[in-house]
């Protein structure tokens, strides 16, 4: 069974995340959307809100689960017997950053990272841009799935 973990803070989940997840569904038997918990980070949405957003977005997908975890992603992958980490790439800067993490993860654990390029129509979207729009009273509804609106 091919199980992948798609880790992130998802604060909030965006259409870019949804694009990557939907295109990954045929590649894996199971996808675990894993919300990392970082006590040092200030989130706009609570952990429970983020879990609820994602569960609502993928309620009809039987092979997707939503969980939360602390610590290293590779350690979490080992505890749930996942062999892959799924990551989306928006641009060359993302690639350089993610490549170093993927190589380290493979060296430490043998877990492979699978990269999917975001679609052209979502490649500019990031959670931090969405948060900035919301904080400043703007309308981010075209950047997030209906489950967040």
Q: Which residues are catalytic?
A: 17, 41, 90, 127
The answer to whether the beta carbons of residues 105 and 111 sit under 8 Å apart is: yes
Strand-pair partners of 69: 36
Which two tokens mark 31? Answer: 């996808």
The answer to whether the beta carbons of residues 31 and 111 sit under 8 Å apart is: no
Which two tokens mark 65? Answer: 């689960």
Tokens 């998802």 found at: 10
Parallel/antiparallel/unpaired status of strands 30-36 and 112-117:
unpaired
Other residues' Cβ atoms within 10 Å of the Cβ of residue 88: 22
Which two tokens mark 47? Answer: 């952990």
């Amino acid at each position: 069974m091919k199980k992948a973990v798609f880790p992130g803070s998802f604060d909030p989940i965006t259409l870019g995340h949804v694009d990557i997840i939907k295109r990954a569904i045929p590649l894996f038997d199971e996808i675990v959307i894993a919300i990392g918990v970082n006590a040092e980070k200030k989130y706009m949405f609570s952990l429970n809100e983020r879990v609820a957003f994602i569960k609502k977005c993928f309620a009809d997908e039987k092979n997707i689960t939503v969980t939360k975890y602390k610590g290293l992603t590779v350690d979490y992958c080992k505890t749930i017997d996942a062999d892959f980490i799924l990551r989306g790439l928006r641009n060359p800067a993302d690639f350089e950053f993610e490549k170093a993490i993927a190589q380290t993860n493979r060296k430490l654990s043998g877990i492979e990272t699978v990269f999917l390029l975001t679609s052209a129509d979502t490649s500019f979207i990031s959670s931090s841009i969405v948060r900035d729009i919301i904080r400043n009273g703007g309308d981010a509804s075209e950047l997030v799935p209906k489950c967040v609106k």
